[in-house]
Structure 1
Amino acid sequence: MNRIYKAYPGGKHKVLTLSYDDGKVQDYRLLELLDKYHIKATFNLNSAVKDAIHISQDEWRELYKNHEVAVHTMTHPTMARCTPYQICEELLEDKNNLEEIMQRPVRGLAFPNGSYNDEIINLAKSLGFKYARVAGDKYANICAAKHFAKEAEGPILLGDETGFGIPEDYMHWLPTCHHNHHLVDLAKDFINLTKKQYLYMMYVWGHSFEFDRNDNWELMEEFCKVISNREDIWYATNLEIVEYDEAFNNLQFFARNSYVYNPNAMSVFVMANNDKCIEIPGGATIKLF
């Protein structure tokens, strides 16, 4: 049997994505940094929150044009304490409002205050959401993996035990770390993951106003310098990752993996026998071997 591995665009085996909440005025500076280093992020916005510390909605379409905008509910409530009707309204109306403002589909969600349950997840699915960022991150797992590796005098563990694994369920999407969790050191660990038989993801979350509060904008600048412009990293929004996975899962492989048909509009990439990157354009049938 010929061996085919899933790959990210261009044959890459690593992906970086960021997720930032609330749309406060500090997003101006964060966006300037991200655009300077060509790093993509998802910005989770509340369409019914309007005051002087939040960016005006008149600016959203232009300001966030290089990034994704996702639902953060209309008013930023603690969702698990809300009634079913209120939960539905908070999700659906924020989605409607953001789509009207941005003039593009909005299919992602980050829960405010980290509050959610399985009923809310199921409701979000029924409303057309393709992913949801849930509370917390994998930072504790990363610390445990490094401790184990040090005690065992062995290599750092692979996959999700390092915090750089690929989620099994995008509706329960847990980030790698908050930006205050040794961000630059983790970026260096991520860069040093070179085994191409694995896929790796680094997912950073936070709030841009925290950089003002903690007076540590230099942290984000250093992170961007360290991790940007890497040939083996795909820089993507949350939704781009989910949509790419959907496209890969739609591929139709022939017996023995000799050919593959791509019914999607977008190109999908695979690695053949570990070392040959093959692009499968949308609508095309490609000979693999």
Structure 2
Amino acid sequence: MPKILLCFPEGKHKVLTMSYDDGRAADRKLVEIFNRNGIKGTFHINSGLFGAGDRLTEEESVELYQGHEVSAHTLTHPTIARCPKEQLVYEIMEDRKNLERAFGYTVRGMSYPNGSFNNQIKEMLPHLGIEYARVVQTTKDFALPDDLLAWRPTCHHNQNLMNLAESFISLHKVQYLYLMYVWGHSYEFDNDNNWELIEQFCEAAGGRDDIWYATNIEIVDYLHAFRQLKFSAAQDFVYNPTANSVWLSVDQAIVEVKGGGQTWLT
């Protein structure tokens, strides 16, 4: 029987994702830095606040975030653990409706505004079409999430970012999968006068052949696709019912399991 292990696309073992909240004007500079270095981000937007203060307008957001993911952040950014459930439903569903109408794809993730959530909220999210939700508590490690509705990032960008980046880049043991997940608010770089931090990080971590650069939802979809694979009892072939390819290490050889078909493993 072969030894089968999940890999990231093209047989990679590391993935980097970035997560930034609120849709503020500083996202213009942040997106330019990401694009220059081949890094993908997920941007969590309050659609009810488009154009308020220094927040981007809907029209500019649609153009700016191309190639990245736009995700929910509730309509108006309330502290939702203090809200009645009826308001929670309204805040999430109206945000989804507005974002989906503007960006033209299904919004299936969010980050909790003000980091506010509880178990009741988590239990409601799948019924509101939300498949993942990012929290503000961090892990300081590179493990994959075990609870997508309380997805803990590796670090905020002000939490020892470059040392963590150095550790992440140096990881090489192929028996593991590694995820580095960085979160924050782009306006913090203006407030702290430290844009050089994210520029140095993206220059160091971007453009590397051994890292998969993905949005939050791309990671979620990839993990779901792996879990839906249908292996034969002898594990000599596998059927992939999804539309997405999944890469496996089969006795240390990299195999692409294409969507919608059957792949022989031995």
Query: What is the TM-score with the length of structure 2 in the denominator?
Result: 0.98
1:79-130 CA deviation, whole Å, 9 max, x = no partner? 1111111111011110111001101110001001011001111111111111
Q: How far does residue 135 in structure 1 lie from its aligned partner after superposition?
A: 2.8
CA distance in 2, matches of 1:32, 1:13: 26
Q: Which ranges of 4 or more aligned residues in structure 1 deviate by more than 3 Å?
A: none
Instruction: Provide the secondary structure at the position in 1 that maps to 2:179.
Output: strand
CA distance in 2, matches of 1:279, 1:16: 21
Q: How far does residue 168 in structure 1 lie from its aligned partner after superposition?
A: 1.1
CA distance in 2, matches of 1:34, 1:176: 18
> Which residues of structure 2 form unaligned runs of 5+?
none
Q: How far does residue 283 in structure 1 lie from its aligned partner after superposition?
A: 1.2
Of 252, 255, 258 in structure 2, the residue corresponding to residue 281 of structure 1 is 258
The amino acid across from 1:171 in the alignment is L
1:39-97 CA deviation, whole Å, 9 max, x = no partner? 00100000111323001111122111110000000110101111111111011110111
The amino acid across from 1:10 in the alignment is E
Percent sequence identity over aligned pairs: 48
Matched, 1:42 2:20: no
Q: Specify the alignment match of 1:160 in structure 2.
A: none
RMSD: 0.9
Q: Specify the alignment match of 2:147 in structure 1.
A: 169
Q: Specify the alignment match of 2:176 in structure 1.
A: 198
Instruction: Provide the secondary structure at the position in 2 that maps to 1:73.
Output: coil
Q: Specify the alignment match of 1:108 in structure 2.
A: 109
Instruction: Provide the secondary structure at the position in 2 that maps to 1:164.
Output: coil
Q: Specify the alignment match of 2:87 in structure 1.
A: 86
Query: What is the TM-score with the length of structure 1 in the denominator?
Result: 0.90
Q: Specify the alignment match of 1:53 in structure 2.
A: 54
> Which residues of structure 1 form unaligned runs of 5+?
140-162
The amino acid across from 2:6 in the alignment is K
Q: Specify the alignment match of 1:216 in structure 2.
A: 194
CA distance in 2, matches of 1:95, 1:27: 20
CA distance in 2, matches of 1:222, 1:59: 26
CA distance in 2, matches of 1:177, 1:135: 9
CA distance in 2, matches of 1:29, 1:279: 36
The amino acid across from 1:128 in the alignment is G
CA distance in 1, matches of 2:85, 2:150: 20
Q: Specify the alignment match of 2:71 in structure 1.
A: 70
1:184-238 CA deviation, whole Å, 9 max, x = no partner? 1111100111110011100000000000000000001100111112222110000
| Pairs aligned (count) | 265
Q: Specify the alignment match of 1:143 in structure 2.
A: none
CA distance in 1, matches of 2:183, 2:42: 9
Q: Specify the alignment match of 1:15 in structure 2.
A: 15
Q: Specify the alignment match of 2:216 in structure 1.
A: 238
Task: Confirm or deny: 8 A CA contact 1:20 1:44 kept in the other structure.
Answer: yes
The amino acid across from 2:161 in the alignment is L
